[in-house]
Chain A
Amino acid sequence: QVQLKESGPGLVQPSQTLSLTCTVSGFSLTSNSVHWVRQPPGKGLEWVGAIWSGGSTDYNSALKSRLSISRDTSKSQVFLKMNSLQTEDTAIYFCTGGGRFAYWGQGTLVTVSS
């Protein structure tokens, strides 16, 4: 059974760095890509970035300068780091994996506020 679970701080201060972890079970990170998608409260879905099975990454061009995605295959974990956070980054952050975004975590709400 494939499961993804996001974890991280619920509250981040403006200008600080966000660190999120996606822990995966039931599939291999070396055979599957993992994407991050975010959703501001009451709004639509936005693709944030991805790490591919080979370890390469792709980022949303609007976030690229602030964003880093990495992984630890031994721990089946994918990491998202985004710096210089602004209030507009307040959102539920989902990790999703498998072909065609088949599997999703439950999401973690990140609030950027002082």
Chain B
Amino acid sequence: EIVLTQSPTTMAASPGEKVTITCRASSSVSYMHWFQQKSGTSPKPWIYDTSKLASGVPDRFSGSGSGTSYSLTISSMEAEDAATYYCLQRSSYPPTFGSGTKLEIK
């Protein structure tokens, strides 16, 4: 089973600040997917196939990476971006999620 390690676990960013969340895989994966989850709601697809934004996701978000290292970046933090973000790999079964990064607004 591929283990995904996200960092940081928790962070706070000021409006306008650039944010980067990292997801490292214990073995190489072909793609990484990202989900946004706000309290009391189900996860929302956010970035798929490493770098493609899901429908409705603002273009201040981007995804990148390859092999064992992937990242989600917000170019300019906004209050509505406060949430928990999870990475997911489906290249190898079973699918596995990262432990999540809780992003707060300062």
Contact = CB atoms under 8 A, between A and B. Distances in A.
A100 B49 CA distance: 9
B90 to A, nearest CB: 7
A47 B88 CA distance: 10
Interface footprint category on B: 20 to 34
Given A45-B86, A100-B45, A60 B97 contact: no
Interface residues of A, number: 17
B61 interface: no
Nearest to B88: A101
Interface in B48-62: 48-49, 54
9 contacts: A45-B35, A45-B43, A47-B94, A61-B1, A61-B94, A94-B43, A102-B45, A104-B42, A104-B43
